Amino acid sequence: MITAKETSDDLVNLEIKLHLPKEDIIAFLIKKSYKVKPFTVEVPPNEEFLMSEPGFTYDTFTAMKSDKKPEYYDLYLKVFEKEIKEFLNI
């Protein structure tokens, strides 16, 4: 869904909402010369004054153009957002 509304004399509010399969996003990143690899994110436990949350892990992917060690900012959705913003010149 794409909607465009004039918000003032010189600005337009553009909203884009898409439902994409992960495979399409990964294929897009591969076409942009990224290496997409599986990655496990480890979230440490959070213990605060009255609240304690256990740590957990989840599996996802990273997208990188080099062979460095993958990090949190290399997560494939963050890289995808960056590429889309560059494409739209935002």
| Residue 78 domain flag | yes
In a domain, residue 73? The reply is yes
Has residue 37 been placed in a domain? yes
CA dist., res. 82 & res. 85, Å (int): 5
| pTM (whole model) above 0.85 | no
Helix (H), strand (E) at residue 63: strand 56-64
Is residue 62 in a domain? yes
Specify if 61 maps to a domain: yes
* 52 within some domain: yes
Separation CA 23–CA 59 (nearest Å): 15
* pLDDT at 25 (0 to 100): 95
Instruction: Determine the structural domain holding residue 73 and report its residue range.
Output: 19-87
pLDDT by residue for the chain (90 residues), tens only, comes to: 889 999 988 899 989 898 999 999 999 999 999 999 999 888 888 888 777 888 899 899 999 988 777 777 789 999 999 999 898 887
What total of structural domains would you count in the chain?
1
- DSSP assignment of 3-29 equals EEEE-SSS-EEEEE-----HHHHHHHH
Cα–Cα distance measured from residue 72 to residue 58, given in angstroms and rounded to the nearest whole number: 12
| Model pLDDT, residue 19 | 93
> Taking Cα atoms as reference points, which of 66, 65, 42 lies closest to residue 54?
42
